[in-house]
Chains A and B, each alone.
Chain A
């Protein structure tokens, strides 16, 4: 069962850093931008740990903590406070409030995990799940069409990453009832072997799992692909709309 963790911070940057730190573990992360949203999320989700910033608009972390401690069903949730201020008075105030731990920014993700492990049991995710998680940045859904968007630079590292999740991810897409996918290569700035490998891999897996695929790219890419035996016959469409209409 995934450990529920709530991160409350007005900075998207810090929420992303917290989420990234917990990514290798079997956790479900919830986010809130201030104390008011944080209390609502805590009441709804009953997290097992809250990572709480102090300085926030609307309701700051200290006010949220006071309210949390006055709620019988939420008062025992362990809280790690985050603060940009390491001064003696600030630290004393935090300690007096009965928080389980605190961290002074700047901090590394590993330091947060070290502290969280003292409060909740974190279990590493299976390698398969980590790979599928890594796939999320490539995929988005537009209506009934799954879009797989490739980055500007496609290199061996991207290749290896895609290899790790492609089959499982595309099988999951088919299981969810989607039958169309667009491989969007319009951002790719270079037609290289890594790109060719991605195209071939995606086409092969799509064929295996029965996904209908279209490829979007630039005219330069279309020309470039003609120079490789593996991709010389591939038809490229030049916009997502054109690709959707071609299904």
Chain B
């Protein structure tokens, strides 16, 4: 429990997001509190879970337009060249995997061993993801250009 209390979840998450966006997308991100509108409306949510000594998950809420921009940038193409929604889902899943992988590594290095799940994505407009019963959680909104997204992470010690 003490390892989890001393674990700086917010710093870890912001560093991971900044690193992934810079390395894979050559995009600078700025962190901007939270973002209620990011969890409503048309969006894609990339999710990875981790389980072991600690359990939790990361959700990346990304609006459809931002998801297209990210996909085009990741694959080195124009938005018009994106072949299908599947490509967008795959990119958002992979982005979540990279951010989740980094967080998982930091947790393991802090003696909070866990395994990472394969990423999944949810797309639509009229849905809400509720997470309850966690010990620690962070919601961080980030902006790149005119687009805003939200990363949320929930974590607890396994029973």
Contacts and interface: CB of A to CB of B under 8 A. Distances in A.
A153 interface: yes
Interface of A: 10-14, 16-17, 20, 55-57, 83-90, 104-108, 137, 151-153, 187
Contacts of B93: 11
B105 interface: yes
A105 B97 contact: yes
A106 B104 contact: no
Interface in B1-56: 19-20, 23-24
Nearest to B78: A151
B57 interface: no
A90 B107 CA distance: 12
Q: Interface residues of B: mostly helix, strand, loop or mixed?
A: helix
Interface size class of B (residues with CB under 8 A): 20 to 34
Contacts of B118: 10, 55-57
A147 B158 CA distance: 57
B74 to A, nearest CB: 6
Contact of A86 (B81, B90, B102): B102
Interface of B: 19-20, 23-24, 74-76, 78, 80-81, 86-87, 90-91, 93-94, 97-98, 100-102, 104-106, 108-109, 113, 116, 118
B92 to A, nearest CB: 9
Contact of B75 (A13, A83, A151): A13
Q: Interface residues of A: mostly helix, strand, loop or mixed?
A: loop
Nearest to A12: B90
A85 to B, nearest CB: 5
A107 B74 CA distance: 11
Given A106-B23, A153-B80, A85 B109 contact: no
Contacts of A20: 75-76
A105 B16 CA distance: 11
A16 to B, nearest CB: 5
Given A55-B118, A88-B109, A11 B94 contact: yes
A13 B94 CA distance: 7
B78 A153 contact: yes
A106 B19 contact: yes
